[in-house]
Chains A and B, each alone.
Chain A
Amino acid sequence: MRYLPLTPADRANMLSVIGAKSIDDLFIDVPGVAQIRDPFDLPRHAGEMEVERELAALAAMNRPAGSGPFFCGAGAYKHHIPATVDHVIQRSEFLTSYTPYQPEIAQGTLQVLFEFQTQVAALTGLDVANASMYDGSTACAEAVMMAQRVTRRNKAVLSGGLHPHYAAVTQTIASAESMEITRLAAAIDAEAAVIASIDTDTACVVVQTPNAFGTVTDVSKIAEAAHAAGALLIVVTTEAVSFGLLKSPGEMGADIAVAEGQSIGVGLSYGGPYIGLFACKEKYVRQMPGRLCGETLDAEGRRGFVLTLSTREQHIRRDKATSNICTNSGLCALAFTIHLSLLGERGLKSLAALNHSRARELRDALAAVPGVEILTPRFFNEFAVRLPANAIETVEALVGRGIIAGVPYSRLAPEAGMDDVLLVAATETTTEADIAALVAALKGRTGQ
């Protein structure tokens, strides 16, 4: 057993130091009824080769994004990750360290988090950001709960453009705290419809840009309406690369911005681990959930970083904490910040511009397919199309031709009655050949 250093001789020697006759003496507090004697009906230990064989066989049954024409988005995006990123995050000192509770010997992690927080604040156009959340969807739910604490009001309005999973997570979590959630019907281009639902009980409105249909919206007017009623504006973004091209949430008046950061540095990994970005105005910082890293000095007056404002947190405040969060998504934050440092402002803007350009190419190509209608009026790198047939069936049929055509909206929200709507995304990884293959396959499907 290659992960266990003790030898039988070590064990015997250690038992004698302890003064125990056998290992069973150390489990004496376990009631007899709970002591398992029979072996489990599970395999015995295995060598590296055997484990690799089983997992490689399972991996081979999946169709990775990079293995052919691929157009899925809907909250997770296929982007190129520089080789440096994956190399650095596998360094022992980052990979195998714990939450930086002892700052004197965790300055690597802490300085990275401080840099990360600064980058996220800059991207979102807000004052402060935390050290990350589990993912975008949980960040969204936590933002709604935070708005309840800030405003002491109980109602949240979710736009019809909010990613259906995000809306579901927020409903699940916030309703457990007796919040009243108003979720507007799915709509491609109607973020501003939330305005009509704002009243004096409204803690926050939640809008998304680019939204679940890819639609990009200037939310300034929504911010004005929310603020006039004493409510907060929460802006959600699921494609973080869009920050390189579009006006930031802060610039448009958001009080809290949350985002899925997977697009920058983090692999697709079938949905996780990802990284939630969370930023807000400085005046709300003490109501923020999650870990925060702050600057301070050591005993010799040198700059250093520590986890701070922990009086908000569960390990100090217990049942009075702002959230029950203990871990963040540290290693994904590291991947995010390395990729973003490599990009820099110039690289991020170029990457975003390239994504938008590819999506325009895809749009023009699909618009020329008979029976396909482009539904999204303004988009970044993803948009919705209406197909002449059921989207789930079309996607399934195209799998057989080696193409992953996109995400049927009805997979996310079967109740929306949008069975013919397909979400398609293009990124810098999309090639002209990929687009041509999709167009040809769709033309084949529609019999044209």
Chain B
Amino acid sequence: MSMNSVGRPTRPDQQSPGVGGSLTGARGLLQDEALIFELGGWDKTGVDLEAPKFDASDLGGLVRSAPIGLPGLSEPEAMRHYVRLSQKNHAIDLALYPLGSCTMKHNPRLNEKMARLAGFGDLHPLTPVSASQGALALMDRLAHWLKTLTAMPAVAMSPKAGAHGELCGLLCIKAAHEAKGQGHRRTVLVPTSAHGTNPATAAFVGYSVTEIAQTQDGRVDLADLEAKLSEDVAAIMVTNPNTCGLFERDIVEIARLTHEVGAYFYCDGANFNAIVGRVRPGDLGVDAMHINLHKTFSTPHGGGGPGAGPVVLSAALAPFAPAPWVVSGPNGFDLIESPEGEAVQGFGRMVAFQGQMGMFVRAYAYMLSHGADGLRQVAEDAVLNANYIKARLSKVMTPAFPEGPCMHEALFDDHWLEGTGITTLDFAKAMIDEGFHPMTMYFPLVVHGAMLIEPTETESKLELDRFCDALIALANAAKGGDVERFTGAPYLAPLRRLDETQAARKPKLTWKPVSQTPLAAE
């Protein structure tokens, strides 16, 4: 039987009682949990409400008569359903979560407590400004920190996530060009290594996307950039540090060349975690950059959001920022929701209300906790941890860019797997059996079989060593011909490998009663 370093079997074999599964579908204490629709509570409820004084007869035919189709659960059943489901998730609180470009760092619980203070959590977005001065002050202070850390004069707070921030930045750029009579510019330049959101956002705003080549050492190819820069270019979108985990050494020159043709420099700030407190994007010539508060500033990812993506803006773009924004005056803070006069240059509105206030509170609590000194240490430890992993794993895996240091994430390719019959995907799935979430796979697209590892600064050396030991053991197993360990992985997760092709071919997106035939496409 295969064992890991602590003597646990790493996959089932003849001796394993788990072969073929248990008699009930459970896996040890992990229950096979049905869907709420199969738990049978069609007439159940887990809330007690008083009877209404008036009926709805005044609404006549507007009242729903058909059943909705919602099951209910009593409180104990609900608790069990969701706690059982929770146990099928990996989480940063359980182990290192090395998803490159995603920045899975510790989420301090003080932040959760602060966001739940009634003065923030139970505050209506349209409360009169005289009764929401504390919220406006917090937005103002958070904005001050963001502007100071980035050396940028303005920040649009309302974007709800990183990609929403990109949209905000490009809409500012579009408005700025139009104001200068440059609305004819049609092209946005994006390096081949960019996040998918960059070209998607540019296209969403109506620009055509031209890719810029990358050099052998993983940076923007300046010669190719120069060749593609023209009076038709509206903006360049560059991630820095980039998605290969490398700092763009020529960033100042990239900005200069971009500005020379009258275009703006959008920086994807997804990787600000690597440089916060040490490098200010404003000093590099950036015109706009979104900041993922859920990455650099520790707000929880919540299984896929909510995020928050404030956008810092240069003086050239600041007049075009969307409403609303906070101003301070003699009677305290005010919220400008419907700009008048000169302020109508703003390009419009990104969201109802003010943005992700719950995330603002968490991010601000995090900034206060770390202080300017601690944030610098955040960047340094994030970079140190990534380089430590790169150094240790380079003995068994092939780093995509072996020369020089990486920033906050270490990128490997799949050359070292050649001839083993094992793919990046297989290797990643085998990591699950060893207790770790896989790294980001097959991204960036510029590296073959990419494996992008971002440990973040909140990992101890002990955890980093556990992780490296596990990957080294796996790499040795891969090279030693233990192919099935990988191609069949995971063996020990709540489920074995899932058939994603089938899911997309015949989409089943909602639960339907067994007796009812699925709705045919009209």
Q: State which residues 303-333 of B face A: CB under 8 Å.
A: 303-308, 322
Instruction: Decide yes or no: A138 and B507 within 8 Å by CB, A56-B117, A65-B124, A98-B301 being known contacts.
Output: no
In the complex, are the beta carbons of A293 and B509 less than 8 A apart? yes
Chain B 415-445 interface mask (CB, 8 Å, partner A; 1/0): 0000000000000110010000110000100
A8 to chain B, nearest CB (A): 11
What is the CA–CA distance of A305 and B508 in the complex, to the nearest angstrom? 10
Our pick among B21, B32, B78, B302 for the contact of A95 (Cβ within 8 Å) is: B302
Question: At the interface, yes or no: A257 with Cβ under 8 Å from chain B?
Answer: no
What is the CA–CA distance of A317 and B204 in the complex, to the nearest angstrom? 12
Q: State which residues 1-42 of A face B: CB under 8 Å.
A: 1-6, 10-11, 13-15, 17-20, 23, 25-31, 33-36, 39-42
Question: At the interface, yes or no: B470 with Cβ under 8 Å from chain A?
Answer: no
How many interface residues does chain A have, given as a range? 35 or more
What is the CA–CA distance of A271 and B157 in the complex, to the nearest angstrom? 12
What residue of chain B has the Cβ atom nearest to residue A119's Cβ?
B70
B262 to chain A, nearest CB (A): 20
In the complex, are the beta carbons of B305 and A248 less than 8 A apart? no
Question: At the interface, yes or no: A356 with Cβ under 8 Å from chain B?
Answer: yes
In the complex, are the beta carbons of B52 and A356 less than 8 A apart? yes
Instruction: Decide yes or no: A309 and B305 within 8 Å by CB, A96-B107, A297-B502, A314-B197 being known contacts.
Output: no
A196 cross-chain contacts in B, Cβ below 8 A: none
B404 cross-chain contacts in A, Cβ below 8 A: 28-29
Question: At the interface, yes or no: A76 with Cβ under 8 Å from chain B?
Answer: yes
Our pick among A269, A314, A330, A412 for the contact of B196 (Cβ within 8 Å) is: A314
In the complex, are the beta carbons of B124 and A70 less than 8 A apart? yes
Question: At the interface, yes or no: B278 with Cβ under 8 Å from chain A?
Answer: yes
Question: At the interface, yes or no: B71 with Cβ under 8 Å from chain A?
Answer: yes
Q: In the complex, identify which listed stretch (A106-114, A183-191, A224-232) lies at the interface while the others stay far away.
A: A106-114
In the complex, are the beta carbons of B47 and A107 less than 8 A apart? no
Question: At the interface, yes or no: A433 with Cβ under 8 Å from chain B?
Answer: no
In the complex, are the beta carbons of B437 and A105 less than 8 A apart? yes
In the complex, are the beta carbons of B93 and A407 less than 8 A apart? no
Question: At the interface, yes or no: B236 with Cβ under 8 Å from chain A?
Answer: no
Our pick among A4, A61, A136, A342 for the contact of B137 (Cβ within 8 Å) is: A61
Q: State which residues 326-368 of B face A: CB under 8 Å.
A: 337-338, 347-359, 361, 364-365, 368
A214 cross-chain contacts in B, Cβ below 8 A: none
Q: State which residues 338-378 of A face B: CB under 8 Å.
A: 338, 340-351, 353-354, 356-358, 360-361, 378
In the complex, are the beta carbons of A344 and B352 less than 8 A apart? no
Question: At the interface, yes or no: B106 with Cβ under 8 Å from chain A?
Answer: yes
A100 to chain B, nearest CB (A): 7
Our pick among A103, A281, A354 for the contact of B50 (Cβ within 8 Å) is: A354
What residue of chain B has the Cβ atom nearest to residue A130's Cβ?
B509
A19 cross-chain contacts in B, Cβ below 8 A: 391
Instruction: Decide yes or no: A50 and B368 within 8 Å by CB, A331-B306, A354-B52 being known contacts.
Output: yes
B114 cross-chain contacts in A, Cβ below 8 A: 51-52, 55, 59
In the complex, are the beta carbons of A327 and B53 less than 8 A apart? no
A146 cross-chain contacts in B, Cβ below 8 A: none
In the complex, are the beta carbons of A45 and B86 less than 8 A apart? no
What is the CA–CA distance of A327 and B300 in the complex, to the nearest angstrom? 12
B102 to chain A, nearest CB (A): 6
Our pick among A31, A95, A163, A328 for the contact of B249 (Cβ within 8 Å) is: A31
In the complex, are the beta carbons of A270 and B46 less than 8 A apart? no
A35 to chain B, nearest CB (A): 7
What residue of chain A has the Cβ atom nearest to residue B406's Cβ?
A26
A89 to chain B, nearest CB (A): 8
A330 to chain B, nearest CB (A): 3
Our pick among A5, A64, A245, A348 for the contact of B56 (Cβ within 8 Å) is: A245
B359 cross-chain contacts in A, Cβ below 8 A: 272-273
Q: State which residues 152-176 of A face B: CB under 8 Å.
A: 163, 165-166, 168-169, 171-173, 175-176
Question: At the interface, yes or no: A444 with Cβ under 8 Å from chain B?
Answer: no
In the complex, are the beta carbons of B322 and A324 less than 8 A apart? no
What is the CA–CA distance of A58 and B473 in the complex, to the nearest angstrom? 51
What residue of chain B has the Cβ atom nearest to residue A354's Cβ?
B52
Our pick among B83, B120, B164, B507 for the contact of A269 (Cβ within 8 Å) is: B120
A1 cross-chain contacts in B, Cβ below 8 A: 370, 374, 377
Q: In the complex, identify which listed stretch (B1-9, B220-228, B378-386) lies at the interface while the others stay far away.
A: B378-386
Give the residue among B99, B116, B353, B521 with the most A Cβ atoms within 10 A.
B353
What is the CA–CA distance of A192 and B419 in the complex, to the nearest angstrom? 67
Question: At the interface, yes or no: B89 with Cβ under 8 Å from chain A?
Answer: yes
Question: At the interface, yes or no: A332 with Cβ under 8 Å from chain B?
Answer: yes
What residue of chain A has the Cβ atom nearest to residue B431's Cβ?
A102
Q: State which residues 66-118 of A face B: CB under 8 Å.
A: 66-67, 70, 72, 74-76, 78, 82, 84, 86, 88-109, 111-112, 114-115, 117-118
Q: State which residues 102-158 of B face A: CB under 8 Å.
A: 102, 104, 106-108, 110, 112-128, 130-135, 137-138, 145, 148-149
Question: At the interface, yes or no: A445 with Cβ under 8 Å from chain B?
Answer: no
Instruction: Decide yes or no: A6 and B432 within 8 Å by CB, A76-B126, A98-B301, A135-B160 being known contacts.
Output: no
Q: State which residues 487-509 of B face A: CB under 8 Å.
A: 488, 490, 493-500, 502-504, 507-509
Instruction: Decide yes or no: A361 and B122 within 8 Å by CB, A62-B135, A177-B206, A324-B163 being known contacts.
Output: no
Q: State which residues 168-215 of B face A: CB under 8 Å.
A: 171, 174, 195-197, 199-206, 208-209
In the complex, are the beta carbons of A331 and B279 less than 8 A apart? no
What residue of chain A has the Cβ atom nearest to residue B53's Cβ?
A357
Give the residue among A101, A163, A218 with the most B Cβ atoms within 10 A.
A101
In the complex, are the beta carbons of A354 and B49 less than 8 A apart? yes
What is the CA–CA distance of A52 and B117 in the complex, to the nearest angstrom? 10
B477 cross-chain contacts in A, Cβ below 8 A: none
Question: At the interface, yes or no: B35 with Cβ under 8 Å from chain A?
Answer: yes
What is the CA–CA distance of A247 and B64 in the complex, to the nearest angstrom? 4
Question: At the interface, yes or no: B69 with Cβ under 8 Å from chain A?
Answer: yes
Instruction: Decide yes or no: A269 and B121 within 8 Å by CB, A92-B93, A344-B44 being known contacts.
Output: yes
In the complex, are the beta carbons of A292 and B507 less than 8 A apart? yes
What residue of chain A has the Cβ atom nearest to residue B104's Cβ?
A98
What is the CA–CA distance of A245 and B348 in the complex, to the nearest angstrom? 35
A408 to chain B, nearest CB (A): 9
In the complex, are the beta carbons of B134 and A308 less than 8 A apart? no
Given contacts A272-B354, A327-B162, 4 further A-B contacts (CB under 8 A): A92-B91, A342-B72, A346-B72, A413-B338
7 contacts between A and B (CB under 8 A): A2-B369, A18-B390, A31-B249, A44-B371, A102-B437, A105-B90, A344-B42
- Nearest 6 pairs between A and B by C-beta? A344-B72, A59-B119, A271-B353, A331-B302, A61-B134, A172-B348
